[in-house]
Chain A
Amino acid sequence: MRIDWWTLALQAINVLILIWLLTRFLYRPVMRAIADRQAAATKLLADAAAAKQAATETQAKLEAQDHAFAAEADKRRTALHSELDAERATMLAKAKADGDALIADARKTAAADQARLEATLQAKAGDLAGRMTAKLLERLPPAVTTDALFAALIDLIRALPEDERKTLSREPLTVVTPAVLDAQARARYTKGLEANLPGMPKPHFAVDPALIAGFELWGPHALVHNSWRADLDRLLAALKEGDHAERR
Chain B
Amino acid sequence: MKIASPLEQHVLFTLGPVPVTQPVVTTWAIMAALVLGCWAVTRRLTREPGKPQALMELVVDTIAGQVRETMRGDPDRYLPLIGTLFLFLLVANWSSLIPGVEPPTATIETDAALALIVFVAMIWFGIRARGARGYLKSFTQPTIFMAPINVVELFTRSFSLMVRLFGNVMSGAFMIGVVLSLAGLLVPIPLMALEMLTGAVQAYIFAALAMVFIGSAVSEANSSPREAST
Any B CB within 8 A of the CB of A27: yes
Asked whether, in the complex, the Cβ of A23 is within 8 Å of the Cβ of B18, the reply is no
Any B CB within 8 A of the CB of A183: no
Any B CB within 8 A of the CB of A242: no
Q: Which of A1, A11, A18, A19 has the most CB of B within 10 A?
A: A11
Partner among B47, B49, B60, B112 whose Cβ is within 8 Å of the Cβ of A27: B60
Asked whether, in the complex, the Cβ of B116 is within 8 Å of the Cβ of A8, the reply is yes
Asked whether, in the complex, the Cβ of A11 is within 8 Å of the Cβ of B110, the reply is yes
Asked whether, in the complex, the Cβ of A25 is within 8 Å of the Cβ of B35, the reply is yes
> Which A residues touch B85, using CB under 8 A?
15
Partner among B18, B27, B57 whose Cβ is within 8 Å of the Cβ of A11: B27
> Which B residues touch A164, using CB under 8 A?
none
> Which B residues touch A32, using CB under 8 A?
45
8 Å CB interface, B44-94 against A? 45, 47, 49, 53, 56-57, 60-61, 64, 76, 79-81, 83-85, 87-88
Determine the interface band of chain B, counting residues with CB < 8 A from chain A.
35 or more
Asked whether, in the complex, the Cβ of B79 is within 8 Å of the Cβ of A8, the reply is no
Stretch at the interface among A33-41, A83-91, A121-129, A225-233: A33-41
At the interface, is chain B mostly helix, strand, loop or mixed?
Answer: helix
> Which B residues touch A34, using CB under 8 A?
57, 60-61
Asked whether, in the complex, the Cβ of A10 is within 8 Å of the Cβ of B18, the reply is yes
Partner among A3, A8, A30 whose Cβ is within 8 Å of the Cβ of B56: A30
Least distance between A2 CB and chain B CB atoms (Å): 7
> Which B residues touch A5, using CB under 8 A?
109
At the interface, is chain A mostly helix, strand, loop or mixed?
Answer: helix
Least distance between B203 CB and chain A CB atoms (Å): 13
Asked whether, in the complex, the Cβ of A12 is within 8 Å of the Cβ of B42, the reply is no
Least distance between B57 CB and chain A CB atoms (Å): 6
Q: Which of B57, B64, B80 has the most CB of A within 10 A?
A: B80
Any A CB within 8 A of the CB of B108: yes
> Which A residues touch B228, using CB under 8 A?
none
Given the contacts A14-B27, A17-B31, A37 and B47 also touching, CB distance less than 8 Å: yes
Measured CA separation A123–B110 after assembly (Å): 156
Measured CA separation A18–B117 after assembly (Å): 12
Asked whether, in the complex, the Cβ of A31 is within 8 Å of the Cβ of B109, the reply is no
Interface residues of A (CB under 8 A from B): 1-12, 14-23, 25-27, 29-34, 36-37, 40
Interface residues of B (CB under 8 A from A): 7-9, 18-21, 23-24, 27-28, 31, 34-35, 38-39, 42, 45, 47, 49, 53, 56-57, 60-61, 64, 76, 79-81, 83-85, 87-88, 104, 107-110, 112-114, 116-117
Given A8-B109, A27-B80, A33-B53, 14 additional A-B pairs, CB 8 A? A3-B112, A4-B19, A8-B110, A11-B23, A11-B104, A12-B116, A15-B85, A22-B34, A30-B42, A30-B56, A30-B60, A34-B57, A34-B61, A36-B47
